[in-house]
Amino acid sequence: MDTVTVGIVDRGYDIYIGEDILTKTGCLCRRHNTGRKAAIITNTVVSGLFLEHLKSVLEEAGFTVYTIEIADGEEHKNLDTLKVIFDRLIEFGFDRSSLLLALGGGVVGDITGFAAATFLRGVPFVQLPTTLLAQVDSSVGGKTGVNHEKGKNLIGAFYQPRMVLIDTATLDSLPSREFLSGLAEIVKYGIVLDGEFFEFLSKNVDNLLKRDKSCLGRAIKRSCEIKASIVKQDEKETGLRAVLNYGHTLGHAVETLTGYKKFSHGEAVAIGMANAAKISESMGLSSRSDTERICATIKMLGLPLALPVFPSSAYIDVMLHDKKMKDGGIRFVLNKGIGDFRISQVDDLHRLLKISGIGD
Ligand SMILES: NC(=O)c1ccc[n+]([C@@H]2O[C@H](COP(=O)([O-])OP(=O)(O)OC[C@H]3O[C@@H](n4cnc5c(N)ncnc54)[C@H](O)[C@@H]3O)[C@@H](O)[C@H]2O)c1
111 to each of 103, 144, 155, 251, 347, how far by Cα in Å? 11, 6, 10, 23, 35
Reported as type and span, the H/E element at residue 351 is: helix 349-355
Q: How far apart are CA 85 and CA 56, in angstroms?
A: 22
Q: Is 72 in the pocket of ligand 1 (CB under 6 A)?
A: yes
β-strand 2-6 against 13-18: which pairing, if any? antiparallel
Among candidate residues 333, 258, 342, 265, the one with its CA nearest the CA of residue 303: 265
- Is 165 in contact with 21 (CB distance < 8 Å)? yes
pLDDT of the residue at 327: 59
**Which positions ≥6 away from 43 have C-beta within 8 Å?**
69, 70, 71, 72, 76, 104, 107, 108
Q: How far is the CA of 73 from the centre of ligand 1 (A)?
A: 8
Nearest ligand 1 atom to alpha carbon 134: 16
Q: How far apart are CA 286 and CA 269, in angstroms?
A: 19
pLDDT of the residue at 73: 96
From 232, 241, 336, 342, the catalytic residue:
241
- Is 227 in contact with 136 (CB distance < 8 Å)? yes
Burial class (CB in 10 A: 0-12, 13-18, 19+), 201: buried
Among candidate residues 113, 192, 75, 156, the one with its CA nearest the CA of residue 323: 156
Q: How far apart are CA 190 and CA 192, in angstroms?
A: 6
From 37, 221, 252, 278, the catalytic residue:
252
Q: Is 38 in the pocket of ligand 1 (CB under 6 A)?
A: no
Q: How far apart are CA 10 and CA 123, in angstroms?
A: 16
- Does the annotation mark 24 as catalytic? no
In order along its 360 residues, the chain shows pLDDT tens digits of: 999 999 999 999 999 999 999 999 999 999 998 999 999 999 999 999 999 999 999 999 999 999 999 999 999 999 999 999 999 999 999 999 999 999 999 999 999 999 999 999 999 999 999 999 999 999 999 999 999 998 899 999 999 999 999 999 999 999 999 999 999 999 999 999 999 999 999 999 999 999 999 999 999 999 999 999 999 999 999 999 999 999 999 999 999 999 999 999 999 999 999 999 999 999 999 999 999 999 999 999 999 999 999 999 999 999 888 755 555 678 899 999 999 999 998 888 888 899 988 876
Helix (H, G, I), strand (E, B) or coil at 317: helix
- Does the annotation mark 143 as catalytic? yes
**Which positions ≥6 away from 107 have C-beta within 8 Å?**
43, 72, 73, 74, 76, 77
The model's pTM is: 0.96
Which residue's CA is the nearest one to ligand 1's atom 37?
45
Q: Is 74 in the pocket of ligand 1 (CB under 6 A)?
A: yes
- Does the annotation mark 185 as catalytic? yes
**Which positions ≥6 away from 253 have C-beta within 8 Å?**
272, 315, 318, 319, 322
Q: Is 267 in the pocket of ligand 1 (CB under 6 A)?
A: no
